[in-house]
Structure 1
Amino acid sequence: MNKLSIIVPCYNEQESIPLFYPAVEKVVNKIEGLDVEYWFVDDGSKDNSLAEMKQLHLEEPSRVHYVTFSRNFGKESALYAGLQASTGDYVVVMDVDLQDPPSFLSEMYQILTTTDYDCVGTRRTTRTGETKLKSFLSDKFYDVINKVSNTNIVNGARDFRMMTRQMVDAVLSMTEYDRFSKGIFSWVGFKTKYLEYQNIERVVGTTGWSMRKLFSYAMDGIIDFSQAPLSMAVWLGSGAFGLSILGIIVVIIRRLLVPSSSTFGWASLVCIILMIGGLQLLCIGIIGKYIGKIYMQVKNRPIYIIKEKK
């Protein structure tokens, strides 16, 4: 009998958990010859999410398990903890807000057990319910990262996917501190099939992903899987240096040809200084981001700290 592990990262999801469990159970109970375990990961929630997990564990102690962190470490850490705790032959990652349709689980399992695919992922074909600005920026993020990185990330790809144990072990072997799972899932390779669906809004509650957090997450993804920003810094610095040399030559030639003419005024000089200074700060900032990630990695801090696990 095959075993399926369902990983569910949670942060302040007390209203979603009681709705999520029966919705998934309704689907997986129809799959013959399949043993199922749930791993709810409480990412330092401030509401009663942990209490809801404990209640499910009391009702199904051999089926429902939970891990709770000592504080909020982020969804990437929660996902990694769930993958480490899982024991199934197949592992699926799902959001608890039911934006990931449970009805796909049967098809995912069938594909993995009857074909040579190692992973079945999902991607949204629409972004209904999101603002136009957020949708535009999301699309542009995928355009940018696929141009500057050798790791291809499918536009609209979700974390919702079912993987074989071999692929899960490959993902777990990547122990970097700053994690970008969409990139990691693609980087490890393995044959992946994507199922498409239209966007589904949350059943209850509001998303914790603000524009600021999404922008920061996007920047982490680009830096984690591309050296293009460093190359850009080199080209910007080279270009600014070349322009400054050209400017000096122009000033000298003008002075030699027209001795009585005045050189450029102080306003143009200030603009040039501000331009070059801005480019320097930009390049230093880009390099600093990479150095900061190296610094966090070499400190070898744990990706998460478990407070309780059952």
Structure 2
Amino acid sequence: MNLSVIVPCFNEEDAIPIFFDEVENIKEQLPVSVDYIFINDGSTDNTLTVLQQLSKENSHVHYCSFSRNFGKEAALYAGLLKAKGDLVTVMDVDLQDPPELLIEMYEKIQDKNIDCVATRRSTRTGEPKIRSFFARMFYKIINRIGHAEMIDGARDFRLMTRQMVDAILEVTEYNRFSKGIFSWVGFNTIYISYENRERVAGETSWSFWKLFSYSIDGLVNFSEAPLNFASVLGAVSFISSLVAFLFIIIRTLVFGDPTSGWPSLVAIILAVGGIQLLSIGIIGKYIAKIFLETKRRPNFIIREESNKKSS
């Protein structure tokens, strides 16, 4: 039995050797052959050089280097396409995903009723409070309005059967949100909890605004609720305007008191204009996703890869 380890990398020259040594240390406790598939996502440091040397020294290390930075979703997709193992795992190179959990994950996936053993963080120690707050809010919202249930604190780090990986690869959309896809394809998944860990080297490339944009993509990709919200908002605005007009007409007929002053008029115009812009923005987000899908551009472009075939 073979295990393929997919490792997306972006400017991780310092973390790669540490990660590789850590996984190699626990590899002997796994009764499977292990091959690595490192995806260099357009790094600007010496990540590619490190991967080239690592691949040269180890026959079970493979790498794939993009022509530019396409993002982690593209890197995950590329890794899944390249992986040929009977079991496939996705891991972050910064060791925030504890390699020793692979032993327990392998033991649990031996149950024929389990297709995936995933991980989730039980704590967010070391993470900025505002990021933790918005992360929790995202999971609450997506689980209320989305089509796929997502576990709070869930990581991409998971061990999957070949059948589940093949099902994920059948989802060929350009706008990918892997956490949602992992859940959407179904299959029996169990979770292992662990306490949050700090990076072993380097700095994260995920800023607050990148994470916020990523969460918006997740909401749009797995829910039509924002569109429904825009429709309801428009309906409420229209009904409110009818009530306001009726009130003005009745007041004029009964009291002979025509509406005066421009501040109220300006306030109404700004309120209606804001609702229209919000609704147009929501619709525009969906149209932009449709536009990207219809262009059928590749998720990534490979500039260089190791010649060895992954097992």
Task: Map 1:278-297; keep pairs closer than 5 Å.
Answer: 278-297=274-293
State yes or no: 1:300 paired with 2:296. Answer: yes
State yes or no: 1:21 paired with 2:20. Answer: yes
Does the aligned pair in 1 maintain the 2:248–2:258 contact within 8 Å?
A: no
Once residues 45 and 10 of structure 2 are traced to their aligned partners in structure 1, the CA distance between those partners, rounded to angstroms, is 9
Give the aligned residue type for 2:263: A
Which residue matches 2:66?
69
Which residue matches 1:113?
110
- Structure with larger RCO (C-alpha < 8 A, sep 6+): 2
- When normalised by structure 1's length, the TM-score is 0.97
Give the aligned residue type for 1:57: S
Structure 1, residues 49-101: CA drift from partner, whole Å, max 9, x if none? 0111111101112x000000000000000000000000100000000000000
Q: Does the residue aligned with 1:239 lie in a helix, a strand or coil?
A: helix
Q: Does the residue aligned with 1:73 lie in a helix, a strand or coil?
A: coil
Once residues 34 and 255 of structure 2 are traced to their aligned partners in structure 1, the CA distance between those partners, rounded to angstroms, is 86
Structure 1, residues 87-135: CA drift from partner, whole Å, max 9, x if none? 1000000000000000011111111123420000000011001111111
Which residue matches 1:172?
169
Name structure 2 gaps, 5 residues minimum: 307-311
Structure 1, residues 129-173: CA drift from partner, whole Å, max 9, x if none? 111111111000000000011210000000000000000000011
Deviation of 1:264 after TM superposition, in Å, equals 4.1
Task: Map 1:151-170; keep pairs closer than 5 Å.
Answer: 151-170=148-167
Q: Does the residue aligned with 2:110 lie in a helix, a strand or coil?
A: helix
Structure 1, residues 13-68: CA drift from partner, whole Å, max 9, x if none? 00100100010011112222x1111000000000000111111101112x000000
Runs (4 or more) in structure 1 with deviation over 6 Å come to: none
Does the aligned pair in 1 maintain the 2:94–2:201 contact within 8 Å?
A: yes
Which residue matches 2:309?
none
Once residues 176 and 150 of structure 1 are traced to their aligned partners in structure 2, the CA distance between those partners, rounded to angstroms, is 16
Q: Does the residue aligned with 1:114 lie in a helix, a strand or coil?
A: coil
Q: Does the residue aligned with 1:65 lie in a helix, a strand or coil?
A: strand
Once residues 182 and 264 of structure 1 are traced to their aligned partners in structure 2, the CA distance between those partners, rounded to angstroms, is 55
Give the aligned residue type for 1:178: N
Structure 1, residues 250-307: CA drift from partner, whole Å, max 9, x if none? 1101110111x24142100100010000000100110010010001001000000001
Q: Does the residue aligned with 2:64 lie in a helix, a strand or coil?
A: strand
User: Greater shift after overlay, 70-79 or 130-139?
Assistant: 130-139
Which residue matches 1:240?
237
Q: Aligned-pair RMSD on alpha carbons?
A: 0.8
Say which of 221, 224, 227 aligns to 2:224. Answer: 227
Give the aligned residue type for 2:47: S
Once residues 283 and 91 of structure 2 are traced to their aligned partners in structure 1, the CA distance between those partners, rounded to angstroms, is 35
Which residue matches 1:134?
131
Give the aligned residue type for 2:20: Y
Once residues 105 and 227 of structure 1 are traced to their aligned partners in structure 2, the CA distance between those partners, rounded to angstroms, is 36
Q: Does the residue aligned with 2:196 lie in a helix, a strand or coil?
A: coil
Question: Percent identity among equivalent residues?
Answer: 55
Which residue matches 1:197?
194
- When normalised by structure 2's length, the TM-score is 0.97
Number of residue pairs the alignment of both structures matches = 306
